[in-house]
Structure 1
Amino acid sequence: MSNRKKMAVMNVFSAIMYYVANSIIGFINRKVFTVYLGSELLGLNGLVVSVISMLSLLELGVASSIGYSLYKPLEEKNYGEVKAIMQLFSRLYRYIGIAVAVIGLVLIPFLPFFVRTTIDQNYVIAVYLIFLLDAVLSYFMAYRRTIIVSAQKDYINKNADTFLYIVTGILQIIIICVWKSYIASLIVKLIFTVLNNLYLYIKAGKMFPYLNDKNLHGEIEKEVKDKIVYNVKALFVIKIASYCVVGTDNILLSAFADLTAVAIYSGYTLIIGIINNLFNRSFGYITANIGNYLIGHNKEEIYQFYNKLNFLNYLITSYTSIALLVLLNEFIGKVWLGEDYVFPMAAVAVLVFNNYLRFCTQAAEAFRSAAGLYSPKPFVKYIALLEGGVNLVVSVALAYFAKMGIYGIFLGTSVSTTISIASIAWINYRFLFEKKVHSFYLKFFWYMLWAIISGCVSVLLFKNLYTRNVLFNIILGLVVSFVIPLGVNYLVFGRSVEWRYFIDMLKGIFHKVMQKVKKQ
């Protein structure tokens, strides 16, 4: 195995371990939090995280842009330019850290407008300041993580982070269980985060000793500087739009409902995030393969290949969404957090629908990325801002003026996501497939119709077979949410080219496995 492939395997394995550790600690920590500290503090935690995330927009996408600019000089062993880029990175992050600190302190008087709670405001400010300090200190040391990633050794970062999550998570659980101190648990997290960043800062210095060489000087080429500025602008727009769509819900829930709603919502987002990482985000890993396919095939072949992957995207997203619809309240209410931490079924249905809308175009997004069609026209990069703006306006209008509360906030996301879906479809069909976009919408709504029918039938069947045994109900829900969509999809799509393609693929994989077993 080549060194490059070995590092790739190590990166993937460490990422999996990080994800598993983060998920397990997250589940346990959330349960301990609700038992010993209550829903309001859990909601406060989620709200402050959202506010700090808003401040992190000042980062402007600098880390990603710098990371891209390091690939070439690292490959060419142009250490002078690497050092110059990292020095620029260090200066930018110091300025950003100072800006985050100043703006974060200025926001303190406005916290009562976002926090509807009986918790003492001085306590709220103390929690906020610890989070703010954590964020600010990271800007002064964490920037060296980027060169480790660019050198394709991200497993070093992930292994350190995994250790951090495990140790910090265990200590926080002990502190909360024994002393019931939220502040103390945050201070522990702050200390270990600083130590983790310090370790990686020193580690990067040893891995790339020229970073500390005072006699080494270099310059950044004008083309590289221009590329960094261009990427920062583009990524800043994307970051703002993304935050407006997925990062503002906690703030809106706190402003128009209360911190308890934020606490309940955080449980749903944790589970939905884990499921999506397991299933729906798989398309992000095949972008490079799609890119290779685009090079050697004509438009019609590319379009047919897209249809097959789009159908697979539909199968995965509809299955995960239906399973979530059937089992979310059962798992959260009966197994994990308790009945006080569940939304009404109607609210869950909107959340799951938003999840379906968000991930039903993953195949389309993978083709867009592989073809490099991020901004085929100058105005395209601003469509994401339109989506974020619509989400905020519609959410506030429905939650406040229409008095719809949490339903209005969630429906605002539903409305704004349609803009993203429409833009991705237009870009692919106009510039990649060179076909009329109406064929996308016909298939999109046809797929969505059968996903909704499968979901409704699954929920009704689950309710009719529901028992008092929680374990049986969980197993029942998993079976129902798989069998019903499978049956419906077979009846509707069983004779389609896409269905036969994946059945033949599964048969081929099974045949190869059986041959290997026989040889052994």
Structure 2
Amino acid sequence: MKHGRTTKSIRNIKYAIIGQATGIVINFINRMVFLHTLSIDYLGINGLFSNILSLLALADLGVGAAIVYSLYKPLAEKDNYKVKALMTLYKRIYVAIGTFIGILGIVITPFLKFLISDIPNIPNISLIFILFVINSATSYFLSYKRSLIIADQKRYITTFYRYTFFLGLNIIQIIFLFLTHNFIIYLLLQVINTLLENIFVSNKANKLYPFLKETGQARLDKNEKHVITRNIKAMMFHRIGGVVVSGTDNILISKLVGIKAVGIYSNYFLITNALNMVIGLIFQAITASIGNLTATENNNEKTIRIFGVLNFMGFWIYGFCSICLLLLFNPFIEIWLGEDFLFHMPIILVIVCNFFLTGMRKSVLSFRDAFGIYWNDRFKPLFESVINLVVSIFLGIHYGVIGIFIGTAISTLTTCFWVEPYVLYKYGFASPVREYFKKYFHYTFVLIFTGIISYWFSEQILFEGVAGFFIKMSICIIIPNLFFFLFFFRTVEFKHLWNVFSSMLLKKI
């Protein structure tokens, strides 16, 4: 990447990590207060309704990703007319989506009882669900301008607003939970926060891009509309696959196992989701710069080299986090919430496997979004969704929670694992994909070997509680990073990353 792209990516990453780290801390405190003032049934309902709303978000159909891709080139060329035309289209679509989600959510409210096997004794469940719907629908109004800031490699601005409001929301929610023990007030505060954040981001976008407020309609020509429509159609399938796979676990657990199991899993999900958000923000921060690279340069060799570095970075981060989760999940939750909120180790192992499989897709998906390659594997998500639902339901009936998670892993391995890199290499890089899989299997072997060694050392620790947790955390920090360094310090990818980070450090000094 050019110096400007690298600098912008680093700034976006820095804001993302600081913001999410703060968010994680306040979120854990919020969860402790939540369980202290309410109950695990409320926690289960919170997780279940969040999943249902993620399914309603299918109405998005991937419009956001398609529009953001279309913005890279006009932003790089400073074509304000086309940018305004795209944003006008984006606004109309997102207002329609938000309205549709609101209406659909209200329509399905009477049928909630069919999604819960053991309905808890919680008053005003319908009102609670409607507040979830309103919050989701509200998030689409004015939020389209956020995508323009992100596409312009200025994600750090939206990150600042996101976590400033998130921090304020959690503090106020904690206060009101202690004062009222009322879940409805808790959700009302969330709706107000969503609306205010969108207003502030929208006003910031108007200041950064004053041409958005100029009178006069900007229109796209027929060919541009065709390209965007084609990408939206393709993203529709990707959106369906992603939502079905990630948004049905809690629904299946609720129906096949029970709402309390949803509450227990929500704590594990809170941790993995927090990690995914932190790491995902790193990749999202880089994606706009990759989009700028592909829009302004025609150097395939350089692009593949940058992809290799990003993929290696993804392995190191997700491999390290996977080992940490395997060793520290239960010790941490036991200290945090107590032993009544623990899953057995086989379930944790499958959760961690899914975490790693999902994480290793990040680099491929970042470059797919930058290239705008949505059409060529548009049917892949449909196969993924069907396999996930069929296998998860079958295994869930016979084996419970672990069967549902194994279904997710099988659907990923039989579709995303090989289709996404194949399409990227064929239509993005125009190169053979075998080098990618060679490195993938090499990385996986190193991870399994390192994980076994780390787990063995962890099992030798006789201390329990906080002391045992910190000793195991020390093992997680030292052993995986030491082994990764020994295996990879001679590689081109490691040397590239080392040069980038060392030059940054020297610059700061």
Superposition TM-score, scaled by structure 1 size: 0.82
Aligned to 2:349: 349
How does 1:165-314 map onto structure 2 within 5 Å?
A: 165-205=166-206, 208-214=209-215, 216-278=216-278, 313-314=314-315
Match of 1:407 among 402, 406, 412: 402
Closer/same/farther in 2, CA of residues 306 and 90 from structure 1, 3 Å limit: closer
Q: Does 1:420 align with 2:430?
A: no
Q: Deviations over 1:155-185 (max 9, x none)?
A: 4433332232122111100111121111111
Once residues 140 and 421 of structure 2 are traced to their aligned partners in structure 1, the CA distance between those partners, rounded to angstroms, is 38
1:420-440 Cα distance to aligned partner (Å, 9 max, x none) = 112134346666575584x76
Distance in 2 (alpha carbons) for counterparts of 1:305 and 1:71: 18
Q: CA deviation at 1:460?
A: 3.5
Q: Check the 8 A contact 1:302/1:433 in 2, yes or no.
A: no
Cα distance in 2 for residues equivalent to 1:193 and 1:424:
33
The whole-number CA distance in structure 1 between the counterparts of 2:226 and 2:22 is 39
Q: Is the 8 A contact 2:12 2:285 kept in 1?
A: no
The amino acid across from 1:159 in the alignment is F
1:314 Cα deviation after fit:
4.1
SS at match of 1:465: coil
The one-letter code of the counterpart of 2:160 is N
CA distance in structure 2 between the partners assigned to 1:200 and 1:443 by the alignment: 41
Aligned-residue CA RMSD (Å):
3.9
Q: 1:141 to 1:312 in 2, by over 3 A?
A: closer
Distance between the aligned counterparts of 1:195 and 1:308, measured in 2?
A: 38
The CA distance in 2 between the partners of 1:259 and 1:218, in whole Å, is: 50
Residue matched to 2:22: 21
Unaligned runs of 5+ in 1: none
Q: CA deviation at 1:480?
A: 2.7
CA distance in 2, matches of 1:441, 1:121: 50
- Structure 1, residues 119-173: CA drift from partner, whole Å, max 9, x if none? 3475211110111112223333333333444455544433332232122111100
Measure, in 1, the Cα distance between the counterparts of 2:153 and 2:252.
39
Q: 1:206 to 1:313 in 2, by over 3 A?
A: closer
Q: Secondary structure at the match of 2:240?
A: helix
Distance 2:305 2:202 in 1: 48
* Cα distance change of structure 1 residues 425 and 69 upon mapping to structure 2, 3 Å threshold: closer
Q: Which moved more, 1:410-419 or 1:205-214?
A: 205-214
8 Å CA contact 2:85, 2:220 repeated in 1: yes
Secondary structure of the residue aligned to 1:381 is coil
The alpha carbon displacement at 1:245 in A equals 1.8
- Partner of 2:458 in structure 1? 462
- Is residue 249–residue 404 contact of structure 2 (8 Å, CA) maintained in 1? yes
What displacement does 1:283 show?
5.8
Greater relative contact order: 1 or 2 (C-alpha under 8 angstroms, separation 6 or more)? 2
> Which letter maps to 2:460?
N
Q: 1:396 aligns with which of 375, 393, 397?
A: 393
Using a 3 Å threshold, how does the CA distance of structure 1 residues 159 and 286 change in structure 2: closer, same or farther? closer
> Counterparts of 2:501 and 2:98 in 1: how far apart (Å)?
54
Amino acid at match of 1:261: A
Report the 3-state secondary structure (helix = DSSP H, G, I; strand = E; otherwise coil) of the residue aligned with 1:219. coil
In the other structure, the counterpart of 2:444 is: 448
1:368 is displaced (CA, Å) by: 5.9
Which residue number in structure 1 is paired with residue 373 of structure 2? Answer: 374
Distance, in Å, in 2 between the alignment partners of 1:158 and 1:415 is 34
**1:128–1:366 CA distance, 2 compared to 1 (3 A):** closer
Q: Percent identity?
A: 31
Letter in 2 for 1:169: N
Distance 1:250 1:221, change over 3 A: same
* CA-CA distance at 1:195 after TM superposition: 2.7
Q: 1:91 offset after TM fit, Å?
A: 2.7
CA displacement, residues 440-492 of structure 1 (integer Å, 9 cap, x when unaligned): 66664554345334333433432232213x333123212333554467668xx
Partner residue in 1 for 2:103: 102
Query: 1:138 corresponds to which residue?
Result: 139
The equivalences for 1:51-90 within 5 A come to 51-70=52-71, 82-90=83-91
| Distance across 2 between alignment mates of 1:141 and 1:474 | 44
1:481 counterpart = 2:482 = no
> How many pairs does the alignment contain?
502
> What SS does structure 1 have at the residue aligned with 2:124?
helix
What letter corresponds to residue 225 of structure 1 in structure 2? K
What are structure 2's unaligned runs of at least 5 residues? none
| 1:280/1:317 contact within 8 Å kept | no
Give me the whole-angstrom Cα distance separating, in 2, the residues matched to 1:175 and 1:270: 21
Please state how far the C-alpha of 1:250 moved relative to its aligned partner.
Answer: 1.5
Q: Which has the larger radius of gyration?
A: 1
- Displacement of 1:94 after TM fit? 2.9
Which residue identity lines up with residue 179 of structure 2 in the other structure?
V
Pair 385,462 (structure 1): closer, same or farther in 2 beyond 3 Å: same
Displacement of 1:27: 1.4
Partner of 2:45: 44
Matching residue's letter, 1:393: V
**What code does the residue aligned with 2:183 have?**
Y
User: Closer, same or farther in 2 for the Cα pair 1:284/1:113, shift >3 Å?
Assistant: same
Q: Distance in 2 between matches of 1:78 and 1:62?
A: 21
**Matching residue's letter, 2:20:** Y
Offset, 1:103? 1.4
Give the secondary structure class of the aligned counterpart of 1:348: helix
* Contact 1:280–1:316 under 8 Å retained in 2: no
Query: How far apart are the structure 2 equivalents of 1:99 and 1:510?
Result: 46
Give the whole-Å Cα distance in 2 for the aligned partners of 1:436 and 1:87. 39
Change (3 A) 1:450 1:213: closer
Q: How big is the shift at 1:20?
A: 2.9
Judge conservation of contact 2:65–2:369 (CA < 8 Å) in 1: no
Q: Which amino acid aligns with 1:411?
A: I
Contact map agreement 2:454 2:475 (CA 8 A) in 1? yes
Specify the alignment match of 1:123 in structure 2.
Answer: 124
CA distance in 1, matches of 2:498, 2:197: 47
Q: TM-score, normalised by structure 2?
A: 0.83
Distance, in Å, in 2 between the alignment partners of 1:309 and 1:210 is 35
Deviates more, 1:357-366 or 1:133-142: 357-366
Q: Give 1:241 deviation, angstroms.
A: 1.0
- Between the aligned partners of 1:212 and 1:312, the Cα distance in structure 2 is 41
Aligned letter for 1:415? I
